[in-house]
Amino acid sequence: MKKFDNYKSNLLVFSKAKDEDLENEFIISGIIDKFYIQFELAWKVLKELLRYEGNRVANTGSPREIIKAAYATYEFIDEEVWLSMLRERNNMTHVYNGEEARELVKKIIDQYIPTFCQLKEAIESQYSEILDTLS
């Protein structure tokens, strides 16, 4: 699945965030931007998997509905964490304060990147046989 390939590719780079200079504003901004991209790729991958599973919610374009349906379908989705990521993604344009940005980056590194890695592993485990056949 091309979307999952893109997801893994972005995650490979994104997961190195903890090794960067977290005092550098440019790096902080880049991590936040990468989070936005990773989240977008994640919910779209979930949407494709739900479509494969025959879930009609996949026909909507709402990330919130996709996350809720994924939580109901997959045991590897922590609804609270994913809805928190959705809120962070939606509020990113309102992060002007440097301290708020550093706090967000800490949350991204400590909680969200591991969640994205967990999703990757769960998808590879559950769908290894058919990933190449999905669009």
Give the DSSP H/E element, type plus range, for residue 11. helix 2-14
C-alpha 27/C-alpha 23 separation (Å) is 8
pLDDT in tens, 45-61: 999 999 999 999 999 87
Give CA–CA dist 20/62, Å, rounded: 33
Sequence ranges of the domains in the chain = 2-127
Positive or negative, the CA dihedral 122, 125, 128, 130 is negative
* Token output for 95: 């992060």
Give CA–CA dist 20/130, Å, rounded.
35
The structure tokens listed for 109 are: 């590194």
For domain 2-127, the CATH architecture is Up-down Bundle (1.20)
Per-residue model confidence as pLDDT tens for the chain (135 residues): 899 999 999 999 999 999 999 999 999 999 999 999 999 999 999 999 999 999 999 998 799 999 999 999 999 999 999 999 999 998 876 666 778 889 999 999 999 999 999 999 999 999 988 888 876
Residue 77 three-state SS: coil
